[in-house]
Structure formats: C-alpha cells, structure tokens
Chains A and B, each alone.
Chain A
Amino acid sequence: MKLKKIFMFSFRFILVFIALCFLVLFLVIPLFVVFYNAFSKGIGMYWGNITREETIEAIFLTLKILIVVLPLNTIFGIACAWYITKYKFRGKKLLLTFLDLPFTVSPVVAGTVFVLLFSVNGLLGGIVEKMNIQIIFAFPGMVLATIFITFPFVARELIPIMEEQGQEMEEAGRMLGARTWQILLKITLPNIRWALFYGMVLCSARCVGEFGAVSVVSGHIRGKTITIPLEVEILYNEYNLVGAFGVASLLCIIGLISLIFRKWIEKRDPQNLYRQIHRYGD
C-alpha cells in the first residue's frame, strides 16, 4: 500500500518535472534571451532600435495590414460559423476540413500560391495587369496572404460554442417574429461575444506575427513591404543582433498582451460564469 503511494507520488513528480523542463527550455529561456539581448547595450540603445525610421514604418505597415485583415476575417468567421452550425447541408465535413487548411499547409506554400496566382504569367495575372493594380510585392498581396493564414481563427473559436448552444434560442427568436438580422444582432452575437473577442485576439496575434507567407509575397522592399517580423529578419541578416532582438521583443510583448487578454476574457466569459453559478434545474 505504502509502496504504491510512493510509486504514484514519484510518477507525478516525474511528469511535473518533464513538463517544467520543457517549459523552461522552450519558453522561459528563449523569452529571456530575447529581452536580455535586446537590452544588452542599455535602455538607450533599445529605445533607439525600436524607434528607428524603418522599425516605425514596419510597425505602421503591420498595423495597416491588421486593420484590413481583422474586420474581414471577423465577418468571414461569423458567417462561416453561423452557416456551419445553424444549417444542415452536404459537404459540411469537407468545409470544416478546408477551414483547417491554413493550419496544415506551410505558410511558405501559401505565399508561393499567391505569387503564382497573381504574377504576370499566373492564372489571375492577366486580369490584374489589365486593371493596373500591383498585388504581388505590394500591400494587397500581403493582405491576401495574411487573410489566408488567419482566416480560421475566429471561425474555429465560434463553431464549438455555437454548436453547444444549439439553435433553440434562434428558433425562439424566429417564432417571436424576429428577422434574421435581428436574430443575429440581438440573440446570436451577444451570446458568443466573448468567444468572438477571443478569436479576434488570436487572429490579431497571428496576423502581427505572420512571417512565412508574407515574406514570400512581400518581395522585401525596404520602406515599402517590410512588416515587424520581416524587419527582425533583415536586422538579423545584417548582423545587427541587438536591433533584431529589440524589434523581436516588440512581438513578444504583443504575444504576452494577447495572453493577458485571454486570461481576462476567460474570467469575464459568462459561459464560464454560467457553469459556476448554474445550480438549478436541468
């Protein structure tokens, strides 16, 4: 009996130990290295690095992409989750699989696809040229690539919660005479707002941090198509390690803020609250 207890205890200890080792090795040390190197030449140098003209430009371009991508992917996510959870149709499984494509396909492949699609000899290259818009190696191409990479985030957050809630509330709204837009605004959205917000946070974090696909379509034109992650790469390749880590620390800070947001949302989410308070009936 006692031996079994000791065994169970040491087993638990080993599990905790392995988990901690991983955390330290892959999360704590790298994070520490980023900030250590960023500040290795002093705070003045750090501040100088993150307020250089190129860096500021990169930050603005990244924000510009975010401002375009986030609303589009939010609308797409809501529409997609609504369609998948509230209607029965053929090919639902297929659509769900496609939704995961950006998670499974390498971003570089995604970027390359856009380049091939919109380059002069590409499938849509002719049309684009006729309309005289530059897509590849320019802002529109970077937006497209980022949309592709981040489109599942909102939908993926919404689908499980909307599935769990079922359609009864919407049906009740319909029986009470509500139009579809009234049902969406007054019933569906208020009930999923925290999940939606969380999905948007995840989408933003990924949008800001996306490297692979954006790198391919950007063409690396200094002062024109450089986002924060690309700026890190450029500085790194120029052997400006302190500068690279300085800009990288910005990405880390954005990531950490997203995590804090997440915790904050989890606390406020009435779905969570609902389970805690729920004592009666059912």
Chain B
Amino acid sequence: MSIELIDVSKKFGTFVAVDNVSFSINRGELLALLGPSGSGKTTILRIIAGLEKADTGSVILEGRDVSREDPRDRGIGFVFQHYALFRHMTVFENVAFGLRVKPRKLRPSEPEIKKRVMDLLSLVQLDFLAHHYPMQLSGGQRQRVALARALAIQPSILLLDEPFGSLDARVRKELRRWLRKLHDEIHVTSVFVTHDQEEALEVSDRVVIMNQGKIEQIGTPEEVYFSPQTPFVFQFLGDVNLFHARELSNGEIVFIPDESKGVEKKIFVRPNQISISLTHSRNNPIPATIQYINTAGPMVKIELMDKKGNPLLAFISIDEYHELHLKKNMEVFLGVKSHHTFENIPNF
C-alpha cells in the first residue's frame, strides 16, 4: 500500500516536532527515516500509524485519507522500539493477540490461529520458543517476536521504530540483513526509523533524511551518499573535513589561500578522499601534523592538525600506511582527491 504525507505538522507545546513535511512512499518499498534524535522521525512514524494526530496536513494510504481514522482501522503493523511485548503472555499468545481480538465474524478458528502463529514464528525462526515468556528471551529474540506479532494481522504497511536501537552491535547487523531479506520475501510496504546512517544506507530502498522537523533530502542510499544536497546530509552520513579555501576566477580551488585572490569557499571532504604525502607538491599542498594513528580496522584512521590548529581526519589503506612509514608528530602534506561544495550555506 502506498503512503502519502501532505503538509504534515505537529507541535508538542512550543516544540515543533514536524514542520510541514510532505513525501510519499511507494507500494512495496522499504524506506528509512533517518535523522538525529529530536528530528521528528519517530513522530512522523506515529502520525502514519495514527498513534499521534497531526496538527495540520493529511495522511493518505492508497489514495484514502485516513487522517481522522482510528489506528486500529488502518491495517498497519507497528514494531515498537522497546518491543512492547505483552509480558503476561507467552510468545505464542503475543503473536496470536491480533487474531484473537478480531470481531467474531472475522476471527479465524482456533486451529487456523494456531497454524498462522506457528507459521509466523518459524518465519522469524523462533517456533521453539512459542511457550516461553518475553522476559525469558534475549533482545534480538524479543525483537523478532514483536515483528511476528505485527505481521500476524497481515498488515498492508509495516512501521518499525528504531527496530535495532537497543540491540548490541553484532546482533544488530545480523538482524538488519535478515530484515532486508524478509522484506524481499513478503514485500510489505515498510518504513523504519533510525539514527544510524550505516543501517539506513544498508537496508533501505530509499532514505528520508530529517533534521529539526524538516526533510533535508530524499533519495536512494547512493544518491544521498554521493550527491548530498545540504551540508547537514553530507556531515550526517559520514565523517567530514571542512576547509576554508578560496576559489579563483578561473574556477581553481586554492587550499593555502592568498587572501587577496578569489572568493572564500567552504570545501567539504570525506576522510577517504584525502591523500597523504611526505613531500610538498601541487597535489599535496596542505601541511599538517599527525596527532594520532589508529590502525585497528579495515582502514587506517589518522587524525591530523593543520597550521591553523583545525583538526582533520584521513582514512588511508594499510598498504599505503606502511609504505609511508607514518608516525605520530610527523609533518606531512595533504591533498584533496575529491570534494563537495554547497551554495548558500547559512551558519555552517
């Protein structure tokens, strides 16, 4: 089912949580709402679900305006951040709940309920825990029970609020790949909220990046990562180096500027787009001192400081690191392989 938000705003007291937001989600899509905490992403999710009423604007599901409809009539499955499992019920009863509360006419028979619940539990690979209570499960298991429970009512939309937020790093990675696979199998329109950019970029078809109640950019993970439209997006999706360089009239960018020539330009560079050389050259004009080297990981992370005292970050390959014999407090020269600039940057 497609989802469309038109001019949705929501205030809590004087705090503007969602500020005139419009976007649409295609049928069968897996969309990530990404942003720092307080950016309004969870509020949007709750407005789609109907748990929160928008002050203005409307929510349209498959062409039907549901803004005034009760959440229970919207056919939406919701997975809560802290799972919200019914702790007085077994895993089986948790998943069966949505079927058991249906009006008598629509309620499946007991054997049907049993079959459907067990099917769902095997889908989330937890059928062996059917008769355990939520408090006997691990975080990852609870999360999958919550997912099975939400899917039991055969929702046309699945909403997930920080689905991996309270899990440890390893389980988190495992579970998000599993969610992607599951989505490819059952193809239900899904929206999930996250503050983890890696998660959003890895799992989703499209990403909506939010900041202070507004949308910064919407696009596929490739689009937002490689062509960020605002400094916020660029900075939020990874580490950033900021250079105050100058652009000459012929379009050339000068990093060690002569203040009299050209116009000031703010240059954004990812750490892996910085090259390090031991000698000064045209391609490596920026002198800097190595502050700290971290070799643990797929790339070597090098923290540096330029002549004005600005901190810089460079990622280089381990081979390159060994070749250069880099050490702490060494004087090196940096070059910029590729960079981003933005027009009209207020207060950045």
Contacts and interface: CB of A to CB of B under 8 A. Distances in A.
Interface of A: 168-169, 171-179, 182, 186-187, 190-191, 270, 274, 277-278, 280-282
**Which residue, of B88, B136, B166, has the highest number of chain A Cβ atoms within 10 A?**
B88
Nearest to A278: B135
19 contacts: A169-B87, A171-B78, A172-B86, A173-B97, A175-B78, A175-B150, A176-B97, A176-B150, A178-B101, A182-B101, A186-B97, A187-B86, A191-B87, A270-B87, A274-B135, A280-B135, A280-B138, A281-B137, A281-B138
B139 A282 contact: yes
A172 B87 contact: no
Contact of A168 (B84, B139, B149): B84
A187 B301 CA distance: 51
Interface size class of B (residues with CB under 8 A): 20 to 34
Interface stretch (B69-77, B184-192, B232-240, B263-271): B69-77
B51 interface: yes
A168 B101 contact: no
Contact of A178 (B49, B72, B84, B137): B72
B82 interface: yes
Nearest to A170: B84
Contacts of B135: 274, 277-278, 280
A184 to B, nearest CB: 12
A29 B87 CA distance: 45
A282 B87 CA distance: 14
Contact of B84 (A171, A277, A280): A171
B82 A174 contact: no
A168 B86 CA distance: 10
B102 A177 contact: yes
A277 B153 CA distance: 31
Nearest to B143: A281
Nearest to B167: A281
A182 B80 CA distance: 20
B98 interface: yes
Given A182-B101, A281-B138, A174 B88 contact: no
Interface of B: 49, 51, 71-72, 76-78, 80, 82, 84-88, 97-98, 101-102, 135-139, 142, 149-150, 152-153, 166-167
Contacts of B72: 174-179
**Which of B51, B101, B139 has the most chain A CB atoms closer than 10 A to its own CB?**
B101
A196 to B, nearest CB: 13
A171 B152 CA distance: 16
A175 to B, nearest CB: 4
Contacts of B153: 176-177
B84 A186 contact: no
Contact of A175 (B77, B85, B102, B138): B77
A52 to B, nearest CB: 47
Contact of B101 (A171, A177, A278): A177
Contact of A174 (B51, B138, B149, B167): B51
Q: Which of B135, B136, B153 lies at the interface centre, i.e. has the most chain A CB atoms within 10 A of its CB?
A: B135
A274 to B, nearest CB: 6
- Sort A-B residue pairs by CB-CB distance and give the 6 closest, nearest first: A281-B139, A176-B98, A168-B84, A172-B84, A175-B78, A178-B101
Given A177-B72, A177-B98, 14 more contacts: A168-B80, A172-B86, A174-B71, A175-B49, A175-B51, A175-B72, A176-B101, A177-B101, A178-B72, A178-B97, A274-B87, A277-B136, A280-B137, A282-B166
Contacts of A172: 78, 80, 84-86, 149
A281 B142 contact: yes
